[in-house]
Structure 1
Amino acid sequence: MALSAENRAVPGTTPLTVVVMGVSGVGKTTLARLLADRLDLPFAEADEFHPPANIAKMSAGTPLDDRDREPWLRAIGAWLKEHAEDGTGGVVTCSALKHGYRDILRAAAPGAFFLHLSGGHDLVEDRIAHRTGHFMPASLLDSQYATLEALGADELGAVLDVGPSPEELVEKAVALLRPVNGDLA
């Protein structure tokens, strides 16, 4: 796959779509924004796709269930599909904790690359405790780790440990994406 200078897909190819996934507090938004900037791709934050009822539920410390997540995942999938079809590609954050959730996203954007950010519980819990302006309480972290399913052999993606700096992680992500899109600088 190759992208032109305007990040439009070359005819007959699929533009690069990336889902930066992982539990809350792992650094999805930070890395996804940096990666989108580096690759000159549109960016979207998954939290913007949650309906108010989901945000209220999580703010109250209640984990979402699959019924809550399905319309949210479909909305993110629609964003991926739109950006794949219009030729721009894009980078979006999404916890995408279960294989089935990723199936919903892949159904909308079959070529999506899942970049799973992984970090130890204590590190991520500390990050959540020190961030401001987010509705996800640290009390829900255990439920996210319990729900998390590793990327399967049938899934296009890779795992990155979040120990290094965000800038180092972007470089590692670009290197992982090169086999998917050889034109990445």
Structure 2
Amino acid sequence: MILILMGVCGSGKTVVGEALAKELNIVFRDADEFHSVENKNKMAQSIPLTDEDRLPWLQAINKYILQRIETGSSGILTCSALKKQYRQILLYNCTDSCKNDCSAVKIIYLKGSEECIQQRLEKRSGHFMPPALLKSQFSTLEEPTSDEILCVTVEIDGKSVSDIVKNILGIL
């Protein structure tokens, strides 16, 4: 099983992903690890990434997901996956690789209000993504729709990490 936690910056992808990985005793990777130095520098300067900037990053993540599936290894991965097009790139060839077992890959959308996430970002330190880019992320965000059968939405407003983790475990 591969779980991809998606959402805007500050939605709790990393902290929830780490907690889930610990609970399930599986590998955790943050998609930020796959960004180029150039992308990280742009974001640190409050310059939003373009689709062209994101494509090699998304392809690298897709390659990682396919490797996990092909080796039968479970894992949790965080990725903003803000647009449907990005989620399609992440999942490219995944259903073929898992022999059409759709339960092998699931995208969990951590959905929160802009106000809630802004408050979280203001409390966070040491991350290359400044709070100033949150509006850009919400502008880019295309929430998963009912035709994206591998996506599940989890509301995060007013919920603790442990409550969010319990909710996700209940979905699995």
TM over 0.5: yes
| CA distance in 2 between partners of 1:109 and 1:31 (Å) | 23
Amino acid at match of 1:113: K
Judged with a 3 Å threshold, the aligned counterparts in structure 2 of structure 1 residues 71 and 87 are, in CA distance, closer, same or farther, namely same
Name the residue aligned to 2:19. Answer: 34
Name the residue aligned to 2:94. Answer: 109
Q: Following superposition of structure 1 onto structure 2, how do residues 1-185 of structure 1 map, counting pairs within 5 Å?
A: 16-110=1-95, 111=102, 112-155=105-148, 156-162=150-156, 163-177=158-172
Moved more, 17-26 or 74-83: 74-83
3-state SS of 1:160 partner: strand
Runs of 4+ in 1 over 6 A off after TM superposition: none
TM-score of the superposed pair, with normalisation by structure 1: 0.84
Instruction: Tell whether the 8 Å contact from 1:78 to 1:108 is kept in structure 2 after alignment.
Output: no
State the shift of 1:161 in Å. 1.3
Higher helix content, 1 or 2: 2
Instruction: Report % sequence identity.
Output: 40
Instruction: Tell whether the 8 Å contact from 1:45 to 1:92 is kept in structure 2 after alignment.
Output: yes
| CA distance in 1 between partners of 2:120 and 2:12 (Å) | 9
Moved more, 144-153 or 61-70: 144-153
Q: CA RMSD in A?
A: 1.0
State the shift of 1:152 in Å. 2.1
Which runs of 5 or more residues in structure 2 are unaligned? 96-101
Instruction: Tell whether the 8 Å contact from 1:80 to 1:108 is kept in structure 2 after alignment.
Output: no
3-state SS of 2:77 partner: strand
State the shift of 1:82 in Å. 0.9
Number of positions where the alignment pairs a residue of Structure 1 with one of Structure 2:
162
| CA distance in 1 between partners of 2:122 and 2:93 (Å) | 34
* 1:91-147 residue CA offsets vs partner (Å, 9 max, x unmatched): 100000000000001114334211000111111111111111101111110110011
* 1:39-82 residue CA offsets vs partner (Å, 9 max, x unmatched): 12211001111000000000001000100001111111111111
| CA distance in 1 between partners of 2:153 and 2:122 (Å) | 24
Which runs of 5 or more residues in structure 1 are unaligned? 1-15, 178-185
| CA distance in 1 between partners of 2:170 and 2:93 (Å) | 25
Moved more, 52-61 or 144-153: 144-153
